[in-house]
Structure 1
Amino acid sequence: MAVDRRRVERLTRELLEAIGEDPERPGLKQTPARMADLYSEFFAGVGEDAAAPLARTISVSRGPAPETLPSGAVLLRDIRFRSVCEHHLLPFAGRAHIAYLPGEQVVGLGALIRVVETLATRPQVQERLGEQIADTISEHLDTRGVLVVLDATHGCVTMRGGRQPEASTLTMAARGIYTEPVARAELVTLIGTSTGSAGAR
């Protein structure tokens, strides 16, 4: 479902008037159209099928490179993402780390990135975003386990209230074998050594 650009423009004008501004002054005259562009980009995932990128799989035993079968988890670190918190419509952004233990089928790494991007471009909360990513992968890909770790900074923490610019939020969602702490311990260690840690943003 596409964003209703005309409606966004109209409501942006109303919002500017509601805070006591003049939407016709030079600095704000193009703001409604810019907001329509912004919302079209930020909320492109609303109504989109997040599982669609996982439809094209590769057989690990009959695929193009059976001699390179993964014997352990596939771990993709430092997927940059940004989303919008549904509570205040302020942005939050960070990095996603995804690991899965393949069964008979694997996907190209770009498919995992597209799952994150689709689910992130909706009004979200970080905890649910991680759970949705884990559910999408575990339900639509042949896996024995999935682990999703999100590390993000939130505008509602850094820009309002207590204003803690260095604070980041870490969430974890696990499925299958990785619901067991011992099974995911190695992955958590590998993710922790990521060069894209929160402090490096």
Structure 2
Amino acid sequence: MAETDAKTPRERYRTQVRAEIKEHAWEQIAATGTSALSLNAIAKQMGMSGPALYRYYANRDELITELVRDAYRSLADTLRSASVAGADLAVLAHAVRGWALEDPQRYLLIYGTPVPGYHAPDDITAISSEIMMILLDAGSTSPRERPATPFDIHLEHHRDWAAGHPAPPAVLRQALSFWTRLHGVLSLELSGHFTGMGFDPALLFAAELDDLLMP
């Protein structure tokens, strides 16, 4: 039993080493990007052999999956905590921005350029869906009354991504617009595309949010 007990010294040591590996991975990603992530380079930094490190992560994709899972789980938990406290879409939007600015590399890993050849497992897709469900719940508490658009009508029959959420098409469209437009602003800001343009990205984000929530 002691061999499998997560509280044994062996398991605690394994947890610590895996956490250190992830710390070095984030440093690499910040310096050279996810595509250049190298387990052998991490092993060298930690004074380990390559084969020794592979006992903790079998390959690069397994390590990336762990980083992606951690990032999605962190964002989902951030939004879940805000929603439990009664946050509306405006508060949730600023929670997303605060989370993104706290660690831009974490944000860009999951919402930036996809890693070539990498496919996230189903459990990560489920966490991503959880995030969207939080937005749909928040939007459903105060739906906007606007004329139906062709996209609203389209969403009546194309809502598989909503995982059975009962929100009407107008709320589905609002959640999608919220997610795509605000992520667009954040992605451009964190990638440095606003540098030198002379305006405050925080005010652009707020303006886009006001437009999305306008009655």
What TM-score results when the alignment is normalised by the length of structure 2?
A: 0.29
More strand by share: 1
More helix by share: 2
Bigger RCO of structures 1 and 2 (CA < 8 A, at least 6 apart): 1
